[in-house]
Structure 1
Amino acid sequence: MAESMLGLKRSHRCTEVTSSNAGETVTVMGWVQKSRNKGGIIFVDLRDRSGILQIIFEESDCGAESFAKAEKLRSEFVIAVTGHVEKRAGGVNENLATGDIEVRAESLRILSESETPPFPIEENSKTKEELRLKYRYLDLRRPDIQRNIMVRSQAAIITRAFLAEEGFFEIETPTLIKSTPEGARDYLVPSRVHPGSFYALPQSPQLFKQLLMCSGYDRYFQLARCYRDEDLRADRQPEFTQIDMELSFVDVEDVLDVNERLLKRLFKEICNFDLELPIPRMTWREAMDRFGSDKPDMRFGMELKNVSNVVGGSEFAVFKNALEAGGSVRGINANGQGAMPRKKIDALVEFAKGFGAKGLAYIAIAEDGTYKSSFAKFMTEDELHALVEAMEGKPGDLLLFAADRDKVVFDVLGNLRLELAKQQDLLKKDDFKFLWVTEFPLLEYSEEQGRFVAMHHPFTMPMDEDWHLIDSDPGAVRAKAYDIVLNGTEMGGGSVRIHQGDIQSKMFEVLGFTPEQAQEQFGFLLDAFKYGVPPHAGLAYGLDRMIMLMVGADSIRDVIAFPKVKDASDMMTEAPAPVDEKQLEELGIEVSETEE
């Protein structure tokens, strides 16, 4: 039978009770982690968000009524206990913060009883994620998840304090906005007052933060809720949080400086990690050439090497055809993996095919310096030696090659490099390697749409020295864009924005908008640009991703209180769900059934 608090006040959280409280009377409240009845003496582990405290019930201390209640305790009962603190009689439990003390109970109230939970509330749960997410309110009681959520709160508080010190204002922007043609992944919200019209939920506060710069606020930030209706992965959710900022009268250096100092403070205060400044930088071109990725993982080497010149005269058809088609031949040296069994090499070939490779060529160098290769018979002895030398191959190394269009080669080797690092256990989660990737291409060609599209978004400033190429060679124009990368994950990104009307109009033209379309979609921004715009730039972090990296979680679902699963549904509330016909009628919407 549940009792009320009846004026009882909690004096401490569980781990706030320490040996310095020995001899004092305390009142603690929380959940029963486990209860052990040793006949005449009952040991209870009491848990709250701070941790665990051992309570001892003996009838001579707490009386017959409280002892009878203690005999009924089961896991997840919510209780209030008053008792006195004493040094632990048995050995000290080194695994508990309160391992040198216990509370000898004088009274007990059962505030709430619990059914047997569908899974144990414990760290590093082995329970299937689907079940845990269905009962997320129980899953959130697990100490490891609670620590993640607390870190998230701490990071938000530190960020707010730091940015306020740096002269930023926190300003909220709307979440019911206008959908744009760039917003193919918008979530749409029907309007009851304007039948047939829809709001979109923002994928980012981009246009509003630029307008705030036009309005003279100089430095803005917010922890913005954003929404994207796209296929999910381990580090994606349909709704997510950005640490979003914009600054006026700045260039690239100013944005990078304030963000480096923010990251230094966050990682020191939360992870006790001393981030050395300045953070290393690498251009997008260099990142692709050396690592096959625009978000390279710097925790290990295994860099790509371009051997197109070395194999230029080779008769090996795979290399020859790739080079004739304007592609390249590149390789990675998996140091010390030369004795890898054929079966594992075949598995790597299959892995590479998943990223568009037609195959994977290899040379395994034995300890005695002899070669085992999938293509040796197509090359002369000298050609093979030259190739091994170019790859800095030593006895015991495994050399892997991809030959195709650059895009495919980068994709294949960039991912293969990560796969090999995983297999060799080179990816330590607490080894934080930061990198700025700069000078992204302004545009990328979309085969699907048959035109150039913005690599970041249409408001990104081109590099001054490249702007003259916008008509003759648009793909060669670099942008004043930058990403902050941590351990192979893009944690945030931003750019200097276009603030001149003529460049913005030209940008829309290159992206295939007529002046009328540009005005229709972005008229409010283009009109604002007529009234004096300061040069401005900004950046946004994925807060969920940042916390995931800080705590070493494998998925952002472990750092979000109520996450969605892969199909964007919520297993606990069962959203999305059909709505009442009457609601649809009011909105002028009819749902038609499609044949499967």
Structure 2
Amino acid sequence: NIRLKYRYLDLRRNHMARNLKMRHKMIMSIRNYMDEKGFLDVDTPILTKSTPEGARDFLVPSRTNPGDFYALPQSPQLFKQLLMISGVEKYFQIAKCFRDEDLRADRQPEFTQLDIEMSFIEQKDIMNEIEGLAKRVFKNVTEESAEYDFPRMPYAEAMERFGSDKPDTRFGVELKDLTDIMATCGFKGFQSAVEAGGVVKAVVAPGVAEQFSRKILTEYEDYAKTYFGAKGMAWIKITEEGVNSPIAKFFTEEEMAAIISRTEAKVGDVIMIVADRAKVVYGALGAVRLKLGKELGLIDNDEFKFLWIVDFPMFEYDEEEQRYKAQHHPFTSIKEEDMQLFLDGEMDAVRTNSYDLVLNGSEIGGGSIRIFNPEIQSKVFEKLGLSKEEAQDKFGFFVDAFKYGAPPHGGLAFGIDRWLMVMLKEQSIRDVIPFPKTNKGQCLMTEAPSKVDDKQLEELYLDSTYNSEIV
């Protein structure tokens, strides 16, 4: 906090001065590459319209239109697609974006994004172009080379193997599926989870059977419980004397042998098991896997690994709102082979023409080929529960533009701050942003956000009595 309050002094330090120079180097590398490839740099509005299906908007009251609000853009998504309709075939922008959401070490309320869109392209075209950009920037910032074809992994495989859509592939400890073994086992907790349509999966902590006491294993279980409401985590130690586990008595010798065989556990290993809905299991074990990787020194911190994740689901079910939402955004195009599933309403099975670029377990960029058929776009809004009136109110200007003809197009956006953070091996995104906010979204240096005069509120037709009621 002291560093952030006196940021202008903090930036004098050699380490922070170097990070500023690397940020400049990165930005210049991007601009030079995009210019060489014929992209046009076009800026888009900061004061725009609030739209649903994303993170929470920052709102700005309008003095000249009483009762109406602008929103600060979460991304230039709609504008860059409109630029494709405008005939700007290859667009890019280094844009400021804003999301009013809970903050973490790799997230800020305002951030810098490299925004890219291209017309008359397919998924492979833009992925190849972006790989070239990523290799150029990586070389200029780290002075290391990444001259290889970035691997591509379907979303479903990433979740099944790593419990994450942004897996760190610098180490193993992959998830192992035990669902079929547990379906008829004597342990009711696992059996009932399978009967309810859930899954049972495990990760193996290598060589820690003696080192991991019950206290440590309980700490790992508590950690797993913080992800998506996991109810618990069972464990099985493989020792020289045999199996040691509170749940061992519930399994036959054949079932225990099957568990050990499936997980490929060896003497000295600990098998960690979670049973629940797939989303909960993936979230909990994916987090445990990363914790093991860091705490057991399984990750080579001098290694960089790029990876494409492709074929994301179009929809995800929101338990809280009891409805489907777009996993990326509602303008993502559907894979041709899944179009009939979409039309038939099989929401959970629909995949998209989408792609995220991952570096060392951090998503540094993501995008998709867009919907350019207005009928399909309207159908997506319908599936998301938006009435025709709501869709027209929120996205009418956008859908109307498509009536004038839209080329096939797609794009991608990089999080500049997070990408630079990973390349410089920093632990916090704040160390690569000149003037960042705290985890509460505060600027300690300028003391923002702050109260304003009642007169300013009155000019915006806002109730000034709120100021005096704040404790």
Q: Scaled by the length of structure 1, what TM-score is found?
A: 0.77
Are residues 1:496 and 2:369 paired? Answer: yes
Which residue is 2:408 aligned to? 535
Q: Which of 396, 404, 418 is residue 290 of structure 2 equivalent to?
A: 418
Aligned counterparts of 1:297 and 1:455: Cα–Cα separation in 2: 21
Which residue is 1:518 aligned to? 391
Alignment of 1:332-351 (within 5 A): 332-339=203-210, 340-351=212-223
C-alpha displacement of 1:277 = 2.6
In structure 1, give the amino acid aligned to 2:397: F
Which residue is 1:316 aligned to? 187
In structure 2, give the amino acid aligned to 1:407: K
Aligned counterparts of 1:475 and 1:323: Cα–Cα separation in 2: 19
The answer to whether the Cα contact below 8 Å between 2:53 and 2:325 also exists between their aligned partners in 1 is: no
Alignment of 1:64-143 (within 5 A): 130-143=1-14
In structure 1, give the amino acid aligned to 2:352: A
Which residue is 2:277 aligned to? 405
Aligned counterparts of 2:396 and 2:126: Cα–Cα separation in 1: 27
Aligned counterparts of 2:372 and 2:442: Cα–Cα separation in 1: 40
Alignment of 1:296-311 (within 5 A): 296-311=167-182
In structure 1, give the amino acid aligned to 2:45: P
| SS of structure 1 residue aligned to 2:129 | helix
| SS of structure 2 residue aligned to 1:408 | helix
Return 475-484 or 519-528, whichever deviates more: 519-528
Which residue is 2:41 aligned to? 170
| SS of structure 1 residue aligned to 2:186 | coil
The answer to whether the Cα contact below 8 Å between 2:316 and 2:327 also exists between their aligned partners in 1 is: yes
Are residues 1:508 and 2:381 paired? Answer: yes
| SS of structure 2 residue aligned to 1:266 | helix
C-alpha displacement of 1:164 = 0.8
Which residue is 1:371 aligned to? 243
Are residues 1:152 and 2:17 paired? Answer: no
The answer to whether the Cα contact below 8 Å between 1:333 and 1:393 also exists between their aligned partners in 2 is: yes
Which residue is 1:229 aligned to? 100
Which residue is 1:463 aligned to? 335
Structure 1 unmatched ranges of 5 or more? 1-129
C-alpha displacement of 1:334 = 1.5
Aligned counterparts of 2:64 and 2:54: Cα–Cα separation in 1: 23
Are residues 1:206 and 2:77 paired? Answer: yes
Q: Which of 303, 309, 320 is residue 437 of structure 1 equivalent to?
A: 309
C-alpha displacement of 1:196 = 1.8
C-alpha displacement of 1:183 = 5.3
Which residue is 1:238 aligned to? 109
The answer to whether the Cα contact below 8 Å between 1:492 and 1:540 also exists between their aligned partners in 2 is: yes
Q: Which of 432, 440, 443 is residue 567 of structure 1 equivalent to?
A: 440
Aligned counterparts of 1:193 and 1:363: Cα–Cα separation in 2: 66
Return 299-308 or 187-196, whichever deviates more: 187-196
Alignment of 1:171-190 (within 5 A): 171-182=42-53, 185-190=56-61
Which residue is 2:266 aligned to? 394
The answer to whether the Cα contact below 8 Å between 1:218 and 1:248 also exists between their aligned partners in 2 is: yes
The answer to whether the Cα contact below 8 Å between 1:439 and 1:481 also exists between their aligned partners in 2 is: yes
Which residue is 1:83 aligned to? none
Q: Check 1:184–1:491 CA distance in 2 against 1; reply closer, same or farther (3 A cut).
A: closer
C-alpha displacement of 1:427 = 2.9
The answer to whether the Cα contact below 8 Å between 2:61 and 2:70 also exists between their aligned partners in 1 is: yes
Aligned counterparts of 1:506 and 1:354: Cα–Cα separation in 2: 36
C-alpha displacement of 1:430 = 3.0
The answer to whether the Cα contact below 8 Å between 1:434 and 1:486 also exists between their aligned partners in 2 is: yes
Aligned counterparts of 2:172 and 2:465: Cα–Cα separation in 1: 55
Which residue is 1:281 aligned to? 152
Aligned counterparts of 1:354 and 1:184: Cα–Cα separation in 2: 21
Q: Which of 192, 196, 200 is residue 63 of structure 2 equivalent to?
A: 192
Return 270-279 or 409-418, whichever deviates more: 270-279
CA-to-aligned-CA distance 1:495-525 (integer Å, 9 cap, x gap): 1000011101101111111222212211111
Aligned counterparts of 1:308 and 1:209: Cα–Cα separation in 2: 45
In structure 1, give the amino acid aligned to 2:444: M
Identical counterparts, % of pairs: 53
Q: Would you identify which runs of 4 or more consecutive aligned residues in structure 1 move more than 6 Å?
A: none
Which residue is 1:555 aligned to? 428
Aligned counterparts of 2:171 and 2:399: Cα–Cα separation in 1: 46
Q: Which of 432, 446, 451 is residue 578 of structure 1 equivalent to?
A: 451
Aligned counterparts of 1:357 and 1:443: Cα–Cα separation in 2: 22
| SS of structure 1 residue aligned to 2:216 | helix
CA-to-aligned-CA distance 1:238-257 (integer Å, 9 cap, x gap): 11000100000011101110
Structure 2 unmatched ranges of 5 or more? none
RMSD of equivalent CA atoms? 1.3
The answer to whether the Cα contact below 8 Å between 1:280 and 1:434 also exists between their aligned partners in 2 is: yes
Which residue is 2:347 aligned to? 474
C-alpha displacement of 1:585 = 2.3
C-alpha displacement of 1:172 = 0.3
C-alpha displacement of 1:174 = 0.7
Aligned counterparts of 1:369 and 1:261: Cα–Cα separation in 2: 54
| SS of structure 1 residue aligned to 2:395 | helix
| SS of structure 2 residue aligned to 1:374 | coil
In structure 2, give the amino acid aligned to 1:545: R
Return 356-365 or 144-153, whichever deviates more: 356-365
Aligned counterparts of 2:456 and 2:215: Cα–Cα separation in 1: 59
Which residue is 1:68 aligned to? none
Which residue is 1:248 aligned to? 119
Alignment of 1:25-36 (within 5 A): none
Which residue is 2:200 aligned to? 329
In structure 1, give the amino acid aligned to 2:251: M
Which residue is 1:358 aligned to? 231
C-alpha displacement of 1:184 = 5.7
Are residues 1:385 and 2:260 paired? Answer: no
CA-to-aligned-CA distance 1:430-467 (integer Å, 9 cap, x gap): 31111111000001111222211110111110111101
In structure 1, give the amino acid aligned to 2:433: I
| SS of structure 2 residue aligned to 1:278 | coil
The answer to whether the Cα contact below 8 Å between 1:369 and 1:395 also exists between their aligned partners in 2 is: no
| SS of structure 2 residue aligned to 1:531 | coil
Aligned counterparts of 1:578 and 1:338: Cα–Cα separation in 2: 56
C-alpha displacement of 1:369 = 5.7
The answer to whether the Cα contact below 8 Å between 2:314 and 2:332 also exists between their aligned partners in 1 is: yes
The answer to whether the Cα contact below 8 Å between 1:545 and 1:556 also exists between their aligned partners in 2 is: yes
Which residue is 1:86 aligned to? none
Aligned counterparts of 1:435 and 1:215: Cα–Cα separation in 2: 33
Aligned counterparts of 1:132 and 1:569: Cα–Cα separation in 2: 13
Aligned counterparts of 1:274 and 1:536: Cα–Cα separation in 2: 30
The answer to whether the Cα contact below 8 Å between 2:41 and 2:91 also exists between their aligned partners in 1 is: yes
The answer to whether the Cα contact below 8 Å between 2:183 and 2:195 also exists between their aligned partners in 1 is: no
What count of residue pairs does the alignment treat as equivalent? 466
The answer to whether the Cα contact below 8 Å between 2:357 and 2:365 also exists between their aligned partners in 1 is: yes
